[in-house]
Structure 1
Amino acid sequence: MLSIIATLCRWLDHPEQRRLRREFALWVQRVLLRRKPFAERSILQGEEIQDLEEVQQMLAERMNEWEKEWEQRGLKKGRQEGRQEGRLEGEAHMLARMLERRFGPLNDQQLERIRSADEQTLWAWSDRVFHADSIDEVLDSQS
């Protein structure tokens, strides 16, 4: 958007095009900047934009703030996903340990099924460990 506005500023650089520059600025303010994500970030703060150069300057100032905000959101999301993934790995490891203690060593296919299972499946299998007579009975999807 910044490059488009910069191009418009260059194209409409002549004094006789001042009114057209203002109309473009108002259009950007009333149409584009009222949409997400701009509207959510109160870019206008109650101001009325008078010229395209104001739009360009305002957007340029806000871009760095938005970039930092998006980076923080990404880091937060990454930490949440990492915790979820770590918890799932821990649950899979615990189930494998319980199965080995009860029934003996697991084969590669059984270990892979456990590692690739979702949380709900791991919980269901964990519940079966105490009542099943074999590893296959625990990992049976029909039970």
Structure 2
Amino acid sequence: MAALFRLENSRDAAAIQRILRHLTDWLHAPQQAGLRRSFTEWLRRVLLPGRLPDITIPAMQELQEVDDMLAERVQEWYAEYERKGLQDGMRKGMAQGMEKGRCDEARRILLGLLTHRFGPVSPEVEAQLQEADVATLEAWTLRVLDARCPEDLFND
């Protein structure tokens, strides 16, 4: 009975697996075949559909089959989570790389315009350009036409 309550309170497939392994060991005797089948049927029809709604639960006769099915599913889920994590990481990395590229290009253009118009810029101006984001660099680029000196870009 305690195993039944632990199964009902389990949070994930790995916890269910641990309890199932304990149950399989505990109910291994041939005279407990009926109880094993009852547990298996309850797992298949009640517990697993409620805990794992996204998977189709095949017909099973023994607790070991449930354990095997869960072990296979858990491996598939880990592989899927890993794949999704890699995809998300790549997507975020590409977005960050593109943003950095846009920022570097905006900085390069603004520095070129400043140098063309005013000559070499001071280290202080270069430092401000290095710290600015793309939107700020683009706004400053528009101010180059009206600026009397590079420092005018930074005055709102």
Q: Name the TM-score, length of structure 2 as normaliser.
A: 0.67
Residues 12, 20 of structure 1: 8 Å contact kept? no
- Aligned pair 1:84/2:104, yes or no? no
Aligned structure 1 segments of 4 or more residues deviating by more than 6 angstroms: none
Aligned length: 130
C-alpha displacement of 1:137: 0.7
Q: How big is the alpha-carbon RMSD for the aligned residues of Structure 1 and Structure 2?
A: 2.6
C-alpha displacement of 1:58: 1.6
**Whole-Å separation in 1 of the counterparts to 2:77 and 2:123:** 53
Structure 1 or 2, whichever has the larger Rg, is 2
Gaps of 5+ in 1: 35-42
- Aligned pair 1:105/2:125, yes or no? no
Partner of 1:40: none
Residues 48, 57 of structure 2: 8 Å contact kept? no
Partner of 2:21: 10
**Whole-Å separation in 2 of the counterparts to 1:99 and 1:135:** 7
Residues 12, 21 of structure 1: 8 Å contact kept? no
- Aligned pair 1:27/2:42, yes or no? no
C-alpha displacement of 1:17: 5.7
C-alpha displacement of 1:91: 0.7
- Aligned pair 1:96/2:111, yes or no? yes
Partner of 2:137: 122
Gaps of 5+ in 2: 1-11, 28-34
**Whole-Å separation in 2 of the counterparts to 1:92 and 1:107:** 15
Residues 103, 135 of structure 1: 8 Å contact kept? yes
C-alpha displacement of 1:88: 0.8
